Chains A and B, each alone.
Chain A
Amino acid sequence: MLPVLETGLGSFIGLTLCLFGLGAYLAGQGLAHGWRPAWQAAVTGFGLALFDRFLQWGLFDGVLLSVGGYLAAGAILASIALFAHRLTLSAKMVRQYPWAYEAAGPLAWREKRAAATLGLDRRPEETSLARISQSQGGVKMNKIIAALVVVVALVGAYFYFGQKPAAPPAPATTEAAPPPAAPAAGDIVIAMGGPLTGEYAAFGEQMKRGAEQAVADINAAGGIGGRMLKIEVGDDACDPKQAVSVANDFANKGVVFVAGHFCSSSSIPASAVYAEHNILEITPASTNPKLTEDAAAKGWTNVFRTCGRDDLQGPTAARYIAKYFAGKKVAVLNDKSTYGAGLAEETRKALVGLGITPVLDEAYTQGDKDFSALVAKLKGEAVDVVYIGGYHTEAGLINRQARDAGLAAVLISGDALNTAEFWSITGAAGEGFLFTFAPDPRNLPTAKDVVAKFSAAGYDPEGYTLYTYAAVQVFAAAVAATGSTEEAKLAAYLRANAFDTVVGNLAFDAKGDVKGTGYVMYEWSNGAYKEKADQ
């Protein structure tokens, strides 16, 4: 076996040829630009080979001190560098001295006959002028641009492929909170964390409305044992990093309970901060199973949720598909977010369990606007049902562009579609879009009074509004019963008891998940959504 291939063809091509080969090419090019002699390119090639061997040893278990391997790699890299040097030099000679030289193939140049007779045939690298150009070493704008592009591309990719592309660098909002937010003696400080800016601001507003209404109602009824609730609002923009800073901000302000966050990718990192500071977290909206599973695995007791989990939600959608679209072609899409990818994966698993194998499994990027290529691909596969694990903005755009392109497939998604903003994106194209969500709490008798209050204020308590209200209620009930705001006592009480809330009677299991939640299918029609009659 060749010594360079000792660690396999893949690592040879990937590391030696692609990575170091490109490096050698660039080195040869750069040396030629500086009018350096060709032997330097060869030396560079053998120098690079040292690093190649080191990485082969470190990453792919190659032999560190292998003379044969080193020489072979060095020879390859040196020839690439020499090739690049020669290629660049010939192009440079012809381009810069068009009166004296002409190209003789890509790797050579020759004197022009007329020029030779004029005595202009000296090789310019031997002239003093060439040395001047070398010492000038002019910084080439092209190189700067190339470096800039790479930096911009990396930064762009970081934001673009990160959890939240459209996250504005907005500071944590501290509404109605003058800097020295020392709570009045006896006040209990609670908080609501969610996206108040960015693409998912509509959900943050639902949560804010719900939490504020609950606080107002509790305070109007005399507070908890005479102590008033005071609410802080934090904006995480659905960005994990910002969620952590919001969580730290809450901890500094002496918050004892947080109703939040919205995005699973925010709730999970924030829950670590809350666990560290012994703050109770009840999320009304984050459905990714990992949130409570991880907390339970790490022994944290502070994480609860008033909504269901994606490993319930996904199978609900899958069963619906199996029942009504048996034998049809199904595609599963996700937006690569914690919530979207998790939900799509649960749905896909459940579909496979029911004997339906999706014909297409694709991911798109949050914040994208043009999905025409993806839609054309769905059309090409002639899919009948598209399941989307993602948020309403992208799902809405996919819906709109699918109808424009003449794709008639039924679109199904998850609980992140329960906002009126979805219809403002799709317009009439959204007719018939299905999504899963818990049975609508607005219709429950327990919610009647609160819904009436919201309606009187000109607000429809859709989506997570009432779930956030319920989270605050649960906290208040626990404080009233235990007479304490200590996380350990509250958490123990929450696990042991059931609570009457606006969304019905809630009880939590050992992990902090609501017992006995279920999901049902909703349908968008004419600007509003309602539960489908036939499930």
Chain B
Amino acid sequence: MALEVAKFLDQLINGISLGAIYALIAIGYTMVYGIIGMINFAHGDIYMIGAFLSVIGILVLGLAGASWAPLGLLMVLVMAMAITGVYGWAVERLAYRPLRNSFRLAPLISAIGMSIFLQNFVQIAQGARNKAIPPIIQGKLTLMDLPGYSVSLSYVQILILVTTVALMAGFTYMIARTPLGRAQRACEQDRTMAALLGINVDRTIATTFVIGAALAAVAGMLITLRIGVIDFYIGFVAGVKAFTAAVLGGIGSLPGAVLGGLLIGLIEAFFSGYFSTAYKDVAAFVVLVLVLIFRPSGLLGRPEIEKV
């Protein structure tokens, strides 16, 4: 009995720490969708760039002989967020703004082009090989210690959870209470009216892309710390999963993105744990299809009201 509880707890921890990464990426999708009503298909690759920048930063600091890990990692994080933010801004400037008043599919397609470009750019600039870093944050808390089975929570997993919760709280506050958040909500409702009332729509949208990219960089850094091995292709799978999470939770809703991310992570972990690892992704997508059939606007999304 205790063993079953331990196994359950172990998969719960695995699922949550996997889901938290999806959630961080999903927030980026959902914020951009919220403000311009379009999916940023280059977001997965922005995340990949964040991960590469983290690896480069960590290796450079390691070469420079940085000794105190927390400060070093913080520096790397700030650097990665800043540079990835510039990439996010560039995606908006190049792929979205010129096409904002075009037909709806145009920016979507240019974003897919952007995604292919970023992938190939990193493949050429950084090489196609796996990039690995040694584990930096080691150590763990042992939660349950049964004979032959121990459940532990590693410091990296704690870091992932704390970061995700803190960022979600921060951004929910930002959208609800700050001038930037008010401007974002105004742009979401009616861009023309917002502009008439003195809101700089272009800047608000660009800021949203930059924030989304910075969050993706955080996710990239966390995955680097947790897994330690990245390649130029990680953005594709993570992007699809996070997009799924955003849609599952209700695209446009910030808590929905986090809920969706955690759900996808948990479904994957529990399905691999109790049924079959080979079909964990099938399970996640089946849940998505079912949710979309019965709740087309996602779990926490607001249904679109057609006013007559």
Contacts and interface: CB of A to CB of B under 8 A. Distances in A.
Interface of A: 22, 25-26, 95-96, 124, 129-130, 132-133, 138, 140-143, 145-146, 148-150, 152-153, 156-157, 159-161, 165-166, 168, 170, 196-199, 201-202, 336, 362-365, 367, 369-370, 372-374, 376-377, 379-380, 382, 393, 396-397, 400-401, 404-406, 421, 424-425, 427
B129 A22 contact: no
B250 to A, nearest CB: 10
Q: Quick one: which of A197, A369, A373 has the most chain B CB within 10 A?
A: A373
A406 B132 CA distance: 21
Given A152-B243, A373-B273, A166 B308 contact: no
A380 B308 contact: no
A421 B130 contact: yes
A419 B67 CA distance: 31
B269 interface: yes
Interface stretch (B86-94, B166-174, B213-221, B276-284): B276-284
Q: Quick one: which of A26, A146, A157, A196 has the most chain B CB within 10 A?
A: A146
Contacts of A140: 296, 304, 306
Interface string B168-184: 00000000000000000
Given A124-B308, A150-B289, A376-B14, A365 B154 contact: no
Contacts of B276: 362-363
B232 interface: yes
B110 interface: no
A96 B120 CA distance: 48
A96 B228 contact: no
Contact of B11 (A160, A336, A376, A396): A376
Contacts of A95: 303, 305
Contact of B293 (A25, A129, A427): A25
B229 interface: yes
Contacts of B228: 400, 425
Contact of A382 (B127, B148, B268): B148
B129 A421 contact: yes
Nearest to B150: A406
Interface in B78-134: 119-120, 123, 127-130, 132, 134
A364 B277 contact: yes
A376 B130 contact: no
Interface of B: 3, 7, 10-11, 14-15, 17-18, 37, 39, 119-120, 123, 127-130, 132, 134-135, 140, 148-150, 152, 154, 223, 226-234, 236-237, 240, 243-244, 247, 251, 268-270, 272-273, 276-278, 280-282, 285, 288-289, 292-293, 296-297, 303-308
B231 A141 contact: no
Nearest to B269: A373
A170 B50 CA distance: 23
B235 to A, nearest CB: 11
B234 A369 contact: yes
Contacts of A336: 278
Contacts of A374: 272, 277
A396 to B, nearest CB: 7
Contacts of A168: 119-120, 123, 128, 232-233
A372 B14 contact: yes
A202 B129 contact: yes
Contacts of B3: 380
Contacts of A152: 240, 243
A159 B237 CA distance: 9
Q: Quick one: which of A26, A202, A372, A379 has the most chain B CB within 10 A?
A: A372
A149 B247 contact: yes
A425 B130 contact: yes
Contacts of A400: 135, 228
Contacts of B11: 373, 376
B220 to A, nearest CB: 12
Contacts of A129: 308
A372 B149 contact: no
Contacts of A373: 11, 14-15, 18, 268-270, 272-273, 277, 280
18 contacts: A124-B308, A141-B304, A142-B297, A143-B296, A145-B247, A145-B251, A153-B289, A170-B123, A198-B128, A363-B276, A367-B237, A369-B230, A372-B18, A373-B269, A380-B7, A401-B227, A421-B130, A427-B132
Contacts of A376: 7, 10-11, 14, 269, 273
B229 A396 contact: yes
Given A379-B10, A421-B130, A372 B240 contact: no
Contacts of B129: 201-202, 421
Given A149-B244, A150-B289, A336-B278, A199 B231 contact: yes
A362 B277 CA distance: 7
A149 B292 contact: yes
Q: Quick one: which of B7, B277, B305 has the most chain A CB within 10 A?
A: B277
A166 B18 contact: no
B308 A132 contact: yes
B289 to A, nearest CB: 7
A220 B17 CA distance: 57
A236 B182 CA distance: 51
A201 B231 CA distance: 12
A153 B237 CA distance: 10
A42 B235 CA distance: 46
Contacts of A369: 223, 227, 229-230, 234
Q: Quick one: which of A140, A150, A168 has the most chain B CB within 10 A?
A: A168
Nearest to A372: B14
Given A197-B128, A404-B154, A421-B129, 12 more contacts: A96-B306, A142-B297, A149-B244, A156-B240, A159-B236, A165-B237, A370-B226, A376-B7, A380-B10, A382-B148, A405-B152, A427-B135
Nearest to A393: B130
A437 B224 CA distance: 31
Contacts of A96: 305-308
A96 to B, nearest CB: 6
Contacts of A148: 39
Contacts of B226: 370
Contacts of A401: 227
Nearest to A150: B289
Contact of A133 (B10, B270, B282, B306): B306
Nearest to A168: B123
A166 B281 contact: no
B237 A160 contact: yes
B306 A377 contact: no
A522 to B, nearest CB: 21
A406 B170 CA distance: 35
B229 A142 contact: no
Closest 4 CB pairs of A and B: A197-B128, A363-B278, A373-B272, A133-B308
Contacts of B18: 370, 372-373
Given A142-B304, A201-B128, A427 B277 contact: no
